[in-house]
Amino acid sequence: MVFFRTVNLNETTPVISAGGVTLRLPQSGDYHAWANLREQSREFLTPWEPVWPSDDLTRAAFRRRLKRYLEDQRNDVAYAFLVFRDDDNALVGGLTIANIRRGVAQAGSIGYWIGAPFARQGYMTAALRALIPFAFNTLRLHRLEAACIPSNTASIRLLEKTGFRREGYARGYLCINGQWQDHLLYARLQDDRD
């Protein structure tokens, strides 16, 4: 039994549009755009992500990823979105609410990535601002958490612009780019404002 589950498992994840971007669940037809953008952005993303599996950009790996996303959503433990620019429907990045804890916590962790050609243009800020009402109103979470490497000034700015507050410092928190990295810890509560 899931305590405080508020999402009907028969529902599909909604399409969320705001601020010039649209967020939706990844679909099989997104494979080429996703693989191309990730490959084009590999050098840009590598310092901030876990080591990519050797088959990460293959169609088979993408299918496994989609299957896991659907299973996670069905189990109310994570919700994955791709982010598209409204002007031309170009894929610009991805955003996930993961590690959802129900009951007395009602919390989840966000993760995000932006393709190199679209970085520092406001797309991820718009996407995160669009996701926040979904997290609090639809999923009925009380708390969103995020962590970033201290040298990732773009991520720090993104979190602070969208109302996240720094709460701490975690040593050796996540294995990023093959090394255990310290992270700054951020959170936003349902009642917090930008």
* pLDDT over 70, % of the chain: 93
For residue 90, what pLDDT is reported? Answer: 98
pLDDT < 70 stretches in the chain = 1-13, 194
And the tokens for 32? 């080429």
- CA dist list (Å): 175 to 29, 64, 100, 153, 181: 31, 22, 20, 19, 6
Cβ atoms within 10 Å of 73's Cβ, excluding its own: 18
Of 144, 141, 148, residue with least CA distance to 185? 148
Distance CA 123, CA 22 (A): 10
Q: What does the alpha-carbon distance between residue 39 and residue 45 come to, in Å, rounded to a whole number?
A: 10
Q: Whole-prediction pTM value?
A: 0.91
At residue 13, the pLDDT reads 67
pLDDT of 77-89, one tens digit each? 999 999 999 999 9
**Domain range annotation of the chain:** 16-141
Q: What is the pLDDT of residue 70?
A: 94
CATH fourth-level superfamily of 16-141: Gcn5-related N-acetyltransferase (GNAT) (3.40.630.30)
Q: For 155-176, write each residue's pLDDT tens digit.
A: 999 999 999 999 999 999 999 9
